[in-house]
A and B are shown apart, each in its own frame.
Chain A
Amino acid sequence: MAQRSRLHVPRPPARPGEEPDFSYLSLSPAGAVPRPDARAPARTVESLGRDLVRVLDEEGRAVGPWNPHLEPEELQVALRHMLLTRLFDDRMQRMQRQGRISFYMKSTGEEAVSVAQGMALQPGDMLFPSYRNQGLFIVRGRSLVDLMCQCLSNTRDMCRGRQMPIMYHWGAGNIFSISGNLATQFPQAVGWAMAAAIKGEDHIAAAWIGEGASAEADFHHGMTFAGVYQAPVILNIVNNQWAISTFQGFAGGERRNFAEYGPGYGIPGVRVDGNDFLAVYGVTRWAAERARQSGGPTLIEHVTYRAGAHSTSDDPSRYRPKEEGSAWPLGDPIARLKQHLIGLGEWSEERHAALEKQLEAHVLACWKEAAAFGTLTEGPTLDPATMFEDVFHDMPPHLARQREELMRLAAAQPARGSPEERSLDSRSAAVAKEG
């Protein structure tokens, strides 16, 4: 009898109440994957997309050819950046819960991706982040106060109140604007890299998206253009297993690794342990060296785990087992680098605790400084008339007219939060009740 065709609808290995199961992940032992020459043709390095590049072993020792052999001082800086990123995230999450900011997205568990890559690249390299790359801003030295003021949409907000929290940018720091529309930055980064090559400069570009967003056309546009023109760009897929409630199988992860997209476009694809600072650093160095020597683009898949919720609007306990995070086989990036440094005799639990305390105090001090420029609930506030600026380079007459209209209305109304306004509010509430 002929069989009817049936759809395969992917299902995650475990739902709430079920035993977490990561047996679908294929893991290579630390140090086991060979490191080819950075100029090796894409065709000869296809196995890099099937294996998993790891440097730190179970005991926290750095092994194998991808070890970047960093000085202990550099590793301590890396640990500090990762810890600061995590503590910054924790503080901002709490501030959202208290109603001081409207929204937040933590990068907990994924700090090694941004911090290792930010450190492995050069300051002149242009970064096109996704929304979970706050570590890049921290590595490049943007003050936490500035990031917090953006989240607060206050009078010091770099976006002048025009963007949701976390949609940072930094022109002087060579970090592009974060877009809420996923994957758009991927082909833009390729265009930036093409321009660098056209101008004969040796800066490269790097872009990040999640594994879920690799289903967007923009991912494929970026890959096509990067492959065709051999643009000097590093394209990163951060595979944290979850796109809100959608597990990586819905982006095609059941049948191939995301790094294996690379060879289809003529681009090397490297799959790396995203929670292993040294492995991410080593792979990024390899890709950067390749790009700078006209070797073209590299696709890197970072295998990691989204330890927290997608955002403050999300509740992962509704779609994945609560214990999944503790069952994750690649551990925590901060704990692993800490273990490595302790093994080297260059760190200790005491120093770690002291650093954590010091950074917590720093984050709190930054928050107090930022909140003085205004929060959602307390002034000072931005002038709404500024909303008409920057739509165009020069304000056209129709926007000038609309701005005048708004200012006339504002002038006729009591200021926000003034006693006059509050009494108006109670009157309109009374009217609404009667109505």
Chain B
Amino acid sequence: MAHMNMVQALNSAMDIMLERDPRVVVLGEDVGYFGGVFRCTDGLQRKYGEHRVLDTPIAEGGIVAAAIGMGVNGLKPVAEIQFADYIYPAFDQIVSELARLRYRTAGEFSAPVTIRTPCGGGIRGGQTHSQSPEGIFTHVCGIKVVMPSNPYDAKGLLISSIEDEDPVVFFEPKRLYNGPFDGDPHKPAVPWSTHPKGAVPDGYYKVSLSKAEIVRPGNDVTVLAYGTMVHVAEAAVRLANVDAEIIDVRALAPLDTDTLCSSVCKTGRCVIVHEATRYSGFGAELAATVQEECFWHLEAPIARVTGWDTPYPHAFEWEYFPGPARIAAALTRVLEDR
């Protein structure tokens, strides 16, 4: 068992899959010779050659379209979109083509493409390097959407995504690449080597694309979070000093409704946290699902703590970011009438 940060874990997943399956290819901007702007594909081209780890032109629509064509021709492409903020030129290819190819051909054609893309803020990226557009993709029928919160899951989920028969959009919270960031930018960075989920097996293993995980058991309130916000929620729970059950949603689409809703039915209270903007955000789907399944168990209104409904502002990053104080306030509020 090695200690890996999330970048190393993702690299290991691709390394293993390139080794195990000759159909796997990696493509994207800067992913080849250079090894990716976040280093996730470091060394892979050297090891597997420039036909299997391809640098591409700067054309996200072309990257996804080429990956679809490769997938139709029997390959298993892993396409990197350098920042989730850059994914929109590929939107039509993802929504109208990748997601619906199996459906529109009644199963005769499909393209098992994995699209990896770093998301989220906290790196002074402003509005073009900080977005969390996962909710836009969970609204599309026919693609799976996942977001890991730690190196162990990142590797296992990426291997599952590459092996999956369906296309997967794989969001990587870039603020977590190097450590379990808990929402306080002024504290010294904590490396993954200090975290139990930084212990990552060297070899092949999978994490299910359809299971949420209870990361902290508790009785009084359920916190639904994913990506960076899992760690921020943990800090908030310590701050508010409440007995919360924190669930890492992990698989956003399809959703593990059972794990989420059994927890809320047990605790009777629910706080939903994501970094993306609130209006029509993925939290709305979570809140609706919880309401439908747990209404008679609810003791308080469901609360959402999210990014504000503005573009991600460069100078006010930490006022924008739904940090531990805002989440703690929501926890206190939903527990007020106990």
Contacts and interface: CB of A to CB of B under 8 A. Distances in A.
Interface in A172-206: 176-177, 179, 181, 184, 186-199, 205
A191 B92 CA distance: 16
A192 B104 contact: no
A188 B65 contact: yes
A398 B285 CA distance: 13
B104 A176 contact: no
A393 interface: yes
A286 to B, nearest CB: 23
A50 to B, nearest CB: 27
B66 A390 contact: no
A195 B69 contact: yes
A198 B52 contact: yes
Interface stretch (A11-19, A27-35, A157-165, A362-370): A157-165
B333 to A, nearest CB: 30
Interface in A208-231: 217-218, 220-222, 224-225, 228
B207 interface: no
B277 interface: no
A138 interface: no
A222 B66 CA distance: 8
A205 B92 CA distance: 22
A184 to B, nearest CB: 5
Contacts of A390: 102-103, 106-107
Interface in B49-78: 51-52, 56-57, 59, 61-62, 65-75, 77
A1 interface: no
A2 interface: no
A396 interface: yes
Given A179-B97, A198-B25, A397-B257, A391 B103 contact: yes
A191 B109 CA distance: 15
* A167, A176, A193, A389, most chain B CB atoms within 10 A: A176
B166 interface: yes
A220 B67 CA distance: 16
Contact of A190 (B69, B75, B164): B69
A191 B103 contact: no
Nearest to A223: B62
B25 A225 contact: no
A169 interface: yes
B254 A397 contact: yes
Given A158-B106, A221-B62, A191 B69 contact: yes
A200 B77 CA distance: 17
B108 interface: yes
Given A222-B62, A391-B142, A392-B142, A184 B96 contact: yes
B217 interface: no
A296 to B, nearest CB: 15
B61 A188 contact: no
Interface in B242-290: 254-255, 257
B141 interface: yes
Nearest to B52: A198
Contacts of B69: 187-195, 205
A191 B68 contact: yes
Contacts of B141: 391
Nearest to A394: B165
B105 interface: yes
A217 B61 contact: yes
Contacts of B144: 392
B6 interface: no
A194 B74 CA distance: 11
A124 to B, nearest CB: 11
Most chain A beta-carbon contacts within 10 A, residue among B57, B89, B104, B107: B104
B275 to A, nearest CB: 24
Contacts of B74: 195, 199
Nearest to A158: B106
Contacts of B56: 225
Among B56, B66, B93, max chain A CB count under 10 A is at: B66
Contact of B96 (A181, A190, A191, A398): A181
B336 to A, nearest CB: 33
The 7 closest A-B pairs by CB, nearest first: A191-B69, A221-B62, A191-B66, A187-B65, A195-B73, A393-B165, A396-B254
8 contacts: A126-B73, A159-B104, A177-B105, A191-B68, A195-B69, A225-B56, A390-B106, A398-B255
Interface of B: 25, 51-52, 56-57, 59, 61-62, 65-75, 77, 89, 92-93, 96-97, 101-110, 141-142, 144, 164-166, 210, 254-255, 257
